[in-house]
Amino acid sequence: MHPEDLRFQVLRHLEQKPDMTQRELAAALGISLGRVNYCVQALIERGLVKAANEA
């Protein structure tokens, strides 16, 4: 999967379920947690996603 395709898929999933965790995203997309984290960090840097740490 190309990085652009992955970013789009992540954004689509987050649009449907904004409170989705990175672990849930990884399972839904069938990719590693590390790859999801890398993608989400890139989206945060571009201002496309806001994230919150919840305990």
Span 3-45: which CATH code?
1.10.10
Q: Which residue has the tokens 């849930």?
A: 24
H, E, C per residue of the chain: CCHHHHHHHHHHHHHHCCCCCHHHHHHHHCCCHHHHHHHHHHHHHCCCCCCCCCC
Mean pLDDT confidence for 16-34: 94
Between 39 and 2, whose confidence is greater? Answer: 39
Mean pLDDT confidence for 27-33: 95
pLDDT at 55: 60
Nearest to 1 by CA among 24, 37, 31: 31
Whether 33 and 40 have beta carbons less than 8 Å apart is answered as: no
The pTM of the full predicted model, rounded to 2 decimals, is 0.81
